[in-house]
Amino acid sequence: MDLTAIITSLLTLLAGIGVFLIACQMMSSNLEAASSEKLKLLFSKASNSKLMGVGIGALGTAAIQSSGATTVMTIGFVNAGIISLAQAATIIYGANIGTTVTAQIVALGMFGGNSLSTSVIFSAFAGLGAFLSIFAKKSGSKTLGGILAGFGLLFVGLELMSGSMEQFAALDGVKTFLAGIGNPILLVLLGAVFTAIIQSSSVMTSIALAMVVTGLIGIDQGIYLTMGSNIGSCVVAIIAGVTSGTNARRTALIHLLFNCSGVILFMLAAMVLGWFDLSYGSLFEKLFPSAPQIQLAMFHTFFNTVTVAIMLPLTGLLVALVVKMIPERSVPKDSEFSLRYVDENMLRTPPVAVSQVKREILRMADIALGNVDRALDMAVQLDFSGRSLFERAERELNFINRELVGLVVRLNGRSGLGEKDRTYLSGTYRSIRDIERIGDYAENIVEYATVLADTSQQFSDDAKYEISQLKKLLHQLYAHAMDAYQNESLESLREANFIEEEIDDYTKEMEDGHIARMEKGICTPSVGAQYLELSSNAERIADHMINIAKSIKSLKATKS
């Protein structure tokens, strides 16, 4: 056995794996950027329908070419409480079907023989895509170039891997060694371990395809390696689940149990087939003669689809099992707050993470408005029974401000974002700051109320009425401002601008009314000082609300 040939083959295989992984990453990130709005819409439709969940998982994975990203994103949704464990399970089922698309594409590229190889034709897309990415002016064209380049590099990597397999196939010692590995359990374990190491079932399946086509291993060996890759692919989800909450860990366990169940069922079925001198390989050879790559790719699709069909009716039992295996744990004292709609796991799928950031900002705004209401009520009623709730909400605002800004910074550094998403993210820092300032002004108003209580003073009835009217105006402004922000509605922005101007005029009327009351001796100067500060702070709260709404102007000017 030529040692130089073995080293050369191993290095070529390593190079092929590297190119293939980079190609997968390029395709995934650029496909996400190209379909960001549709992807966000797709995952927003998660419902209690099992088939809907499977469809979302399959289409989402086929769209971004990464079952790992889909699974990790699903874990993030579960951790944030957006979807249930049952919904997450069905999405993961679908992701297993969607990931078979890559194997079908790779198998298609292995045709050629004496004619021009389809793999060579597809590889040429790498050059076309590179030229488009470099010389195109529009971001959409650059994204398309990235998709084409990634698609082409997929087959460049495949060619390198296939070439290394052909070199291995020429070595009698290697063929003899591989031929001796006929134990299905050992082959499944090898497939699982290798996939866990490289964290890509697509690479493992593609290597198995190349080995089968070059005759290095038989179709049955390739089938068991591919089955093992399904188990190894769970490593990504397990890593994501371990670092998250209870439901996230349960979701990772669902993924593992689902894939292991499929392998066990098919291994048992293989034993039954063996009683009749049949195997999966012999059956698929009859179905797709003279095309080993199609045989393995079609088995991969068949395996995942049948497993989903079997496990789908058992989803409730599977969820109940993982809940029993991973019970709820007490929340540590240092975990008083958490982000509800977005976490680190979602960064794996940036376009969806962007939509979740918006939901988190809207939640933050609701918390801030709640504190404005509490502050104004304390100022009018001098009832401080809600102060503990106020202080807790203020701590939560500070927590969200700190955590969300850091997460947005990391999200902004990810690839796979369209121009509109990047424009939105660049404005989130100011929006988060505006909401945090609303909370600060609410704190100021509570301080004015405290001064009144400490000095046994209070506002006049007229002043209290004016504050109640101001509160109504702030609520009207908030409703239109948040609708403008959430739905990018220019009509709501116009309404918000109108109400904000009305608040400006009203706070001036409040000042005039206060002066008139002082001249009549109804209000004292010390009470008046608190009243004027309150109206001034309310006006600034309105300014920050309208700032949030105005952030959509840059989005409307940006193409998706």
pLDDT of residue 154: 77
Query: Residue 340: is its pLDDT beyond 80?
Result: yes
Instruction: Please check whether residues 227 and 355 belong to one and the same domain.
Output: no
pLDDT tops 70 at residue 39: no
- Percent of the chain past pLDDT 90, that is, above it, reads 41
Domain end marker among 298, 325, 352: 325
Asked whether residue 399 carries a pLDDT value surpassing 50, the answer given is: yes
pLDDT over 50 at 334, yes or no:
no
CATH of the domain at 496: 1.20.58.220
Predicted confidence band of residue 83 (pLDDT cuts 50, 70, 90): confident
Is 553 a residue whose pLDDT tops 50?
yes
Number of domains in the chain: 2
What local confidence, expressed as pLDDT, does residue 90 receive?
Answer: 92
In a domain, 215, yes or no: yes
Residues 410 and 261 reside in one and the same domain: no
Residue 334 in any domain: the answer is: no
252 is a domain residue: yes
Q: How many CB atoms lie within 10 A of CB 66?
A: 28
Of the ranges 72-81, 127-136, 347-356, the best mean pLDDT one:
127-136
313 and 357 co-located in one domain: no
Q: Which residue has the higher pLDDT, 145 or 62?
A: 145
Give the pLDDT band of residue 114 (cuts 50, 70, 90): very low
pLDDT of amino acid 99: 85
Domain identity same for 212 and 133? yes
CB 248 within 8 A of CB 82: no
| 390 shares its domain with 311 | no
Residues 454 and 501 in one domain: yes
Per-residue pLDDT at 61: 78
Q: Burial level of 340, CB count in 10 A (0-12/13-18/19+)?
A: middle
- What is the arithmetic mean of pLDDT over 220-248? 83
Please report, as a single letter, which amino acid is at residue 162. S
State the Cα–Cα distance between residues 529 and 448, nearest whole angstrom: 9
* Percent composition of the chain: helix, strand, coil (DSSP 3-state, to 5): 80, 0, 20
CA-based nearest residue to 35, from 348, 349, 463: 349
Domain boundary among 292, 325, 358: 325
Asked whether residue 292 falls in the same domain as residue 184, the answer is yes
Look at 329 and 464; give whichever has higher pLDDT: 464
Query: Is 333 contained in some domain?
Result: no
Question: Among all chains, which residue has been given the structure tokens 């679908």?
Answer: 94
Among 185-199, 293-307, 386-400, 422-436, name the one with the lowest average pLDDT.
185-199
From 277, 297, 325, give the residue that closes a domain: 325
| Residue 339 forms part of a structural domain | no
Residue 194: the pLDDT is 85
> Same structural domain for residues 311 and 366?
no
Give residues with Cβ within 8 angstroms of 39, minimum separation 6: 32, 60, 63, 64, 349, 351, 352
The pLDDT value recorded for residue 6 is: 75
**What is the C-alpha separation between 131 and 125, in angstroms, rounded?**
10
| 484 pLDDT tier (thresholds 50, 70, 90) | very high
Tens of pLDDT, residue by residue over 149-172, are 888 887 788 778 777 776 766 666
Same domain, 278 and 367: no
List Cβ neighbours of 61 (8 Å cut-off, separation of 6 or more): 67, 69, 70, 94, 95, 97, 98, 99, 101
pLDDT the model gives residue 396: 94
Domain presence at residue 337? no
Whole-number average pLDDT of the chain: 84
Instruction: Give the model confidence (pLDDT) of 267-315 as tens digits.
Output: 999 999 999 999 999 999 999 988 888 999 999 999 999 999 999 999 9
pTM for the full predicted model: 0.71
Assess whether pLDDT exceeds 80 at residue 380: yes
Q: Based on the domain organization, do 275 and 208 belong to the same domain?
A: yes
The yes-or-no verdict on residue 440 having pLDDT over 70 is: yes
Average pLDDT, stretch 91-115? 78
**Predicted pLDDT of residue 333:** 46
Name the nearest CA neighbour of 372 among 358, 386, 357.
386
pLDDT(236) > 80: no
pLDDT digits (tens, 9 = 90+) for 4-20: 777 887 888 888 888 87
312 is written with which tokens?
A: 């789908």
Of 9, 27, 19, 55, nearest in space to 206 by CA: 19
Q: What is the pLDDT of residue 329?
A: 66
Identify the pLDDT of residue 102: 79
User: According to the model, what pLDDT value does residue 474 have?
Assistant: 95
For residue 20, what are the domain limits? Answer: 3-325
Q: Tell me if 245 is assigned to some domain.
A: yes
Q: Are residues 319 and 416 in the same domain?
A: no
pLDDT in tens, 510-529: 888 878 887 777 777 778 88
408 shares its domain with 308: no
| Residue 2: predicted pLDDT | 67
Residue-level pLDDT at 403? 92
Is residue 19 in some structural domain? yes
